[in-house]
Amino acid sequence: MYSYLGLFLCILLVCCSVTPFSIIGSRRSILREVSNNEKSDHPDYAVELNATNFVDVLKDTPATFAVVEFFAHWCPACRNYKPHYEKVARLFNGPDAVHPGIILMTRVDCASKINNKLCDKFSVGHYPMLFWGHPPKFVGGSWEPKQEKSDISVIDDARTADRLLNWINKQLGSSFGLDDQKFGNEHLSSNISDFGQIVKAIYDVEEATSTAFDIILGHKMIKPESRVSLIKFLQLLVAHHPSMRCRKGSAKLLMSFDDLYPTDFWSTNEQEIDEVSLSNLQICGKDVPRGQWIFCRGSKNDTRGFSCGLWVLLHSLSVRIEDGESQFAFNATCDFVYNFFICEECRQHFYKMCSSVSSTFHKAQDYALWLWSTHNQVNDRLSKEEASLGTGDPEFPKTIWPPKQLCPSCYLGYDYRNKKIEWNQDEVYKFLTNYYGKTLASLYRDKNIVGNDRTDGGAEDLIVEATNAVVVPLGAALAIAIASCAFGALACYWRSQQKSRKYFRHPHSSKSI
């Protein structure tokens, strides 16, 4: 009897020890603070990996490089080395990282049985053992001691935090220091001719989307008069957001909108919302926002960030729509900014530019060029204000976009009499489509996560459940209808009809505000 009881307790202990790994295995645990099991004054910065999340985390990280430390928790040398490793990890990991988006610092405990095959795959022969490489190279990769050529390197001089950081600096040609503080980042790229920088903006687009909806819900900005404008903007996100997980979250929020905010919600005295349901509707996933910016990171704490990310989002939407959706996208964007952008002066300026448009947009190119021109007008106005007040970012001054370095063919000449640049607008549109469309989404394609280029199918990879309550124009509507059939034709048809009757028989645009 006691032997059976002992066996039962052993099984229970194993189950309890395995379960946390499935929880930790969240795909985007990259930028979370991992709790320290030992007594410490600060949390761990290095991300704990195991066999269940190793591939997903390294595949999904925005970092250019990764360091993987293989250790054993029972090893005294490993325990003594951990504070050194953490000193370096705090520079690159977590929402308070000094130099985010460059290196992902991770750890794998080889003393855990779940990691036996993973540690064998990298021929771990001593503890601690550190490897360096591009994150995708670790996915499906391996390492052998006698291997002549490998995309993964062993860090052979990392006994202390100083030595490890010196080794990293030699690899990157950087001069990071253990005492670096946030926003003291000489590695920050302000090189406007570096076309590849926009690739990492996909993470900032997700950050801006999530932050915008956190503000809307946190400040309870959804009112009877703004309800329809939010629904239309959500429809735009579902069909054309460059991030698949944001399309998925937007669709879930859109499908739940009637339950969260019924039409008679504001006529009741209580006006209580289901906080539990609302908290489960993170628009870009449960791990976004991450608390940091990469492409949109300023050289000072109070510059760039959210406003930059929001502009990139709007431009990315403008180059993904089709001709028949241009006026819808214009109205949805103008209404969204007017009703939900919390900076009063900014939204009034933007609304004024929206109101100055007297004709209807018939082509996607026309809307994309209008948004581009509007952004340049905003930059011109803000650059003068920032110059007089000294509030601008010295590393990222407001400028006319795109600069000649990025698109020489966009420039025809300069009108000295009117002090205006003469643009080749066809070339500008080609640039915008490539920059905010193909190049922006290339990081996903490179990592085989999802193709987001409109020419590769755009809205066709929408998740099935994301399309049930969506009604959008033309091409996007067709893609959504096809996907919806797979989910359930009758239920889908009923809900889409309900939405259509409620929202689209009452046109709403910035003109009627």
| Alpha carbon distance 5, 281 (integer Å) | 43
In the chain, the percentage of residues whose pLDDT exceeds 70 is 71
Residues with Cβ within 8 Å of 200's Cβ and at least 6 positions away in sequence, in order, are 62, 101, 294, 295, 443
Matching residue, tokens 């190793």: 54
SS3 96: coil
Cβ-contact 299, 184 below 8 angstroms: no
Backbone dihedral region for residue 271 (phi beyond 0: left; psi -120 to 50: alpha; all else: beta) = left
pLDDT value of residue 385: 85
Mean pLDDT of 147-172: 89
A 10 A CB-CB count for 394 gives: 11
Residues with Cβ within 8 Å of 425's Cβ and at least 6 positions away in sequence, in order, are 369
| Alpha carbon distance 416, 409 (integer Å) | 19
A 10 A CB-CB count for 420 gives: 9
Query: pLDDT digit string (tens) for 301-324?
Result: 778 888 899 999 999 999 999 999
A 10 A CB-CB count for 119 gives: 21
Cβ-contact 445, 452 below 8 angstroms: yes
Q: Which pTM value belongs to this model? A: 0.62
pLDDT > 90? residue 31: no
| Alpha carbon distance 343, 310 (integer Å) | 13
pLDDT value of residue 76: 87
Cβ-contact 91, 98 below 8 angstroms: yes
| Alpha carbon distance 10, 144 (integer Å) | 36
Question: Higher pLDDT residue, 182 or 47?
Answer: 47
pLDDT > 90? residue 69: yes
Question: Higher pLDDT residue, 175 or 484?
Answer: 175
Question: What residue ranges of the chain are covered by domains with CATH 1.20.120.310?
Answer: 197-262+277-421
Q: Running DSSP on this structure, what letter comes out for residue 304?
A: B
Catalytic sites, residue numbers = 75, 78
CATH topology for 197-262+277-421 is: Four Helix Bundle (Hemerythrin (Met), subunit A) (1.20.120)
SS3 462: coil
Cα of first residue to Cα of last residue in the chain, in angstroms, is: 77
Mean pLDDT of 455-468: 33
Question: What residue ranges of the chain are covered by domains with CATH 3.40.30.10?
Answer: 47-172
| Alpha carbon distance 291, 301 (integer Å) | 12
pLDDT band at 2 (very low <50, low <70, confident <90, very high): very low
pLDDT value of residue 469: 37
Cβ-contact 352, 345 below 8 angstroms: no
Mean pLDDT of 353-382: 93
Q: Which residues of 36-53 are buried (b: 16+ CB within 10 A; e: fewer)?
A: eeeeeeeebbbbbbbbbb
Cβ-contact 287, 31 below 8 angstroms: yes
pLDDT > 60? residue 455: no
pLDDT > 90? residue 275: no
pLDDT value of residue 279: 57
**Between the CA atoms of 307, 310, 316 and 318, what dihedral angle is there, to the nearest 10 degrees?**
-100
pLDDT value of residue 99: 84
Cβ-contact 381, 349 below 8 angstroms: yes
Query: pLDDT digit string (tens) for 94-123?
Result: 877 888 888 999 999 999 999 999 999 999
CATH 3.90.1150.10 holds for 47-172: no
